[in-house]
Chain A
Amino acid sequence: MFDFYFDLPLWIRLTVQGLTVMLVMFPIGAACSMAERKIAAWVQDRPGPNRTIAPILAWIPGIGIIKRLGLFQLAADGGKFVFKEDTVPGHVNKFYFIAAPIIAVIPALTTVAVVPFGAYIDAAGRTIPLMLANVDIGLLAVFAISSLSVYAIILAGWASNSKYPFLGAVRASAQLVSYELSMTLSVLPVFLWTNGPFNGESSDSFLGSLSLSRVVEFQSGSWQGITSPGWGGVWFGFLMPLSAFIFLVSLFAETNRQPFDTVESEADLVNSFGSEYGAFKWSLFYVAEYCHMLVGSAVFMLLFGGGWNPLPWVPLADFANWLGFAHLPLVTGIVGIGIFLGKVLAMIFFFMWVRWTLPRFRYDQVMAIGWRKLLPLSIANLIFYTIGIALLTK
């Protein structure tokens, strides 16, 4: 059925896959900005944007729902950003000023290449992850590339050649570097686990792997069709709640979300690094931010939330068997992607829910939490799990 596709040259397939992922990711990133406004509105007891409609579509019955959800507003805003005049202030360094939003988007869209976003069950009953590049360095690639995004902010702040963007850039560099440490330390127990005691005999070739799909397979209770021994099937979120918590907090800080929003901090820094930007360049920064949130939520769900498995201890394969569609790879693929996307969007909702609940931390509080609380906590956590896993391995 899909043979013609697999007969295509590899580079065409990869291009098609890459473009498809981006074409899904970009609109979701944009839709998040509307979701943000809607959730803000609901938290504040108001309906949110619900008036915009394209007059030529108004006759379609039931379109009022889309109108009330503000999706036409989203299109109108997007159109505005594309067509309005894109001014470049006279006092900026033009080259870097224009380069900054581009550099912001590139890592945001690149990280998705190594993040699996679903799985299907092939004819042999194996669960095959869907991802653009199933590389061994997996998570390391995500961390390496996504941390490049701070350069966009620094560049934007510096090139803008004015006070507030500069201060924002300084804060961004300090904050993102501080939280990267505890973020990386918090995920180490997960990889100690996947490469440690319950590493089945059959997976020698994957020893020493940081692959994200492998982490999900550990939470599925099976790896390449072989049920893993021990506690296979338990989500790492239950096994390592502290790791999950530290990772989540660092994720908030890394994506510059409230309550770690000191970088943007419109109250004291106007719009920080975005102050001198307008129109499409400005919106690129925000698409990049939402793409970071999407990838961050995806990584969180892969590491601690069971990936594409519908429930704890219920892997996708069992789920498909119960409902009787396990022999249809296309259906299992769509269900797998659907479950995973649902989880990611639930995380995004949580991000927004937190944003409209909490005030932002002061800058010194952000630093104190990062260095004096989260970092020692993540080190203690790592030591605890290292000893625990060493004892279990015996």
Chain B
Amino acid sequence: MAVIPVERKPLTLAERTYIPQIIGGLKTTLRHMLRKPVTLEYPEQRPEIPAGYRGVPTLVYDPNGREKCVSCQLCEFVCPPKAIRITPGEIPSDDPHAHVEKRPEEFEIDMLRCIYCGLCQEVCPEEAIWLQNQFSMSGYTREEMVNNKQKLYELGGTLPDAHFKWDKKKAAEEHGNGHH
């Protein structure tokens, strides 16, 4: 690379008095004073959450109200900080969703351990665990910071099936177009 010597110009008299620069600075700050604040007044005003945001992990129901989680425990194994504890349980045969066979009896995510990495969501074959928009968790005790199954479903709610699976696949099969 060619070396280009740059001549440093000596300061002019006006520059040495600092005054033009000070006036320029005052103009800039005045402009900012008249501008609207760029801050959000947080608890009342919430930031807009972008798509794909990784907030608090939650469990979701499918559109038919079935618990999507089949307690395969993949998320428990993949979780780097070991924040997830699953107690698998069997679905009783008289349940409308008995064909799924398994669901979690208890599902705990320790939010003091969770690092919001999203690996649980990535690994889940049933798309049952989602990192959604909630970004602030608080509690007075350590126990409060552990989300149990009930809390996880409350946070998660119901999500539509995004992929060619389950009901979509079944409907396609009925129209003789089972293979995607």
Contacts and interface: CB of A to CB of B under 8 A. Distances in A.
A384 interface: no
A91 interface: no
Interface stretch (A41-49, A73-81, A229-237, A281-289): A41-49
A49 to B, nearest CB: 12
A43 B28 CA distance: 9
Contact of B33 (A43, A47, A358): A43
B127 to A, nearest CB: 41
B176 interface: no
Contacts of B160: none
Interface string A41-83: 1111111001000000000000000000000000000000000
A356 interface: yes
Contacts of B32: 42-45
Contacts of A358: 22, 25
B39 A45 contact: yes
Interface in B95-109: none
A46 B41 CA distance: 10
Nearest to B16: A373
B38 interface: yes
B41 A47 contact: yes
B26 interface: yes
Q: Is the interface of B mostly helix, strand, loop or mixed?
A: helix
A296 B133 CA distance: 54
B26 A354 contact: yes
B33 A357 contact: no
A353 interface: yes
Contacts of B37: 41-42, 45-47
B3 interface: no
B38 A45 contact: yes
B15 to A, nearest CB: 13
B35 interface: yes
B28 A357 contact: yes
Contacts of B30: 353
A353 B32 CA distance: 11
B26 A353 contact: yes
Contacts of A46: 37-39
A119 interface: no
A353 B29 contact: yes
A157 B22 CA distance: 32
Contacts of A293: none
Given A45-B38, A46-B38, A39 B25 contact: no
B25 A357 contact: yes
B38 A356 contact: no
Interface in A353-382: 353-354, 356-358
Nearest to A350: B26
Interface string B8-45: 00000000000000100110111011011111010000
A44 B29 CA distance: 8
A328 to B, nearest CB: 37
A356 B39 CA distance: 18
B37 to A, nearest CB: 5
B77 to A, nearest CB: 45
Contacts of A39: 33
A353 B29 CA distance: 8
Contacts of B22: 354, 357-358
B22 to A, nearest CB: 6
B46 to A, nearest CB: 16
B178 to A, nearest CB: 58
Interface in A297-322: none
Contacts of A44: 32
A244 to B, nearest CB: 13
Nearest to A51: B41
Contacts of B39: 45-47
Nearest to B21: A358
Interface in B26-71: 26, 28-30, 32-33, 35-39, 41
Contacts of B25: 357-358
Nearest to B17: A373
Contact of B29 (A47, A50, A357): A357
B164 to A, nearest CB: 48
A46 B37 CA distance: 4
A354 B39 CA distance: 23
A24 B158 CA distance: 63
A356 B29 contact: yes
Given A44-B32, A45-B32, 17 more contacts: A39-B33, A42-B33, A42-B37, A45-B37, A45-B38, A45-B39, A46-B39, A47-B37, A47-B39, A47-B41, A50-B41, A353-B26, A354-B22, A354-B26, A357-B25, A357-B29, A358-B25
24 contacts: A39-B33, A41-B37, A42-B33, A43-B32, A43-B33, A44-B32, A45-B35, A45-B36, A45-B37, A45-B38, A45-B39, A46-B38, A46-B39, A47-B37, A47-B39, A47-B41, A353-B26, A353-B30, A353-B33, A357-B22, A357-B26, A357-B29, A358-B22, A358-B25
The 6 tightest CB contacts between A and B, nearest first, are: A42-B33, A357-B29, A357-B25, A46-B39, A45-B38, A43-B29
